[in-house]
Chains A and B, each alone.
Chain A
Amino acid sequence: MSSEQVIDRLKNALGDKLKGTFAQTALRIYAEADPADIVEVTRVIHNDLGARFVIASGMEMETDFEVLYHFAFENMPPPCPLVTVRVHLDHEKPLVDSITSGVPAAAWIEREMHELLGIEFKNHPNMKPLLLAEDWPKDVHPLRRGRPWEGKVDRKI
């Protein structure tokens, strides 16, 4: 299936909730979404169009935070395209709705992003620490820019 056909299918399903779609290659499609719509957008892609949730990734950019949700359309004729939905979050207070209501598999990666990048996920069912040690300070997010843990974490056990 060509990238144009995939984009058409996404647009038919989501209408104007999806903005700025572009195909980097035939198999790699990016789309922008508003943080307010992300629960609906991911629910439609995952449940109605039947895509597989691959992973989500978070990044701290210079002016904002980006969260990217990656979906693989394995139910389309091969080669199967990979669609990435991107949201931009406020740099001071990164907050987005949890997509776990439509995509339960996103629960752990949201916990990881919450811990390592400090992104808040609203309505997450189980926001417990996932990776860091129990004595790690809750306000230090190690994957943010610079070296935020320096001077705040004792490097001896």
Chain B
Amino acid sequence: MGVTVKALMKSPWVFHVSAGSCNNCDIEILDCLCPRFDIERFGAVLIGSVRHADALIITGAMNRKSALRVRQLYDQAAKPCLVIAIGACALGQGVFRDSYPMVQPLDEVLPPGAVTVYVPGCPPKPEAMIAGVVKALAQLQPAAKPEGAEKEAADVQ
């Protein structure tokens, strides 16, 4: 395991991209950071610059304008970069699919295979988001799955 991936798995720094969500997923993400769920226990820190990010958390159905920004942000992030799509809108545009400002969904805006995990729900529970992050980390280095990854994912389901 390279030192970059090792550092990433020990403490993934996440950047929150709200591509026009209704704020419900965003509130649940904040819930993840608050004492009840407290993902900082696992070393995940919300940071202010995409240049420092190991993971992008993307919420919201993107429109023509924000899709360009999402692509730009992904290009600016240092690789390897995990992309975690949160909520029904980020997955498949939700109820806004036929609306006028919509373009293609997130996984077609970003390069193929860029989206690491999809966390469905409207909004998903913080437990599901944590399980998603754990799964994303596990996928990064399948040989060395973080301890309890399987169990935690199973607990949520």
Interface residues of A (CB under 8 A from B): 132-133, 135-136, 142, 147, 149, 153, 155-157
Stretch at the interface among B36-44, B45-53, B96-104, B146-154: B96-104
A-B residue pairs in contact (CB < 8 Å), sample of 24: A132-B101, A133-B63, A133-B64, A133-B65, A133-B101, A135-B64, A136-B64, A142-B100, A142-B101, A147-B100, A149-B100, A153-B100, A155-B102, A155-B103, A155-B104, A156-B103, A156-B104, A157-B64, A157-B67, A157-B68, A157-B71, A157-B103, A157-B104, A157-B109
Within 8 A of A (CB), among B116-130: none
Name 7 extra pairs, CB < 8 A, besides A155-B102, A157-B104: A133-B63, A133-B65, A142-B100, A142-B101, A147-B100, A157-B68, A157-B103
Max count, chain A CB within 10 A of own CB: residue among B65, B68, B104: B65
Contacts of B68 in A (CB 8 A): 157
Give, as a whole number of angstroms, the nearest-CB distance from A133 to chain B. 4
- Interface centre among A133, A135, A136, A157, by most B CB within 10 Å? A157
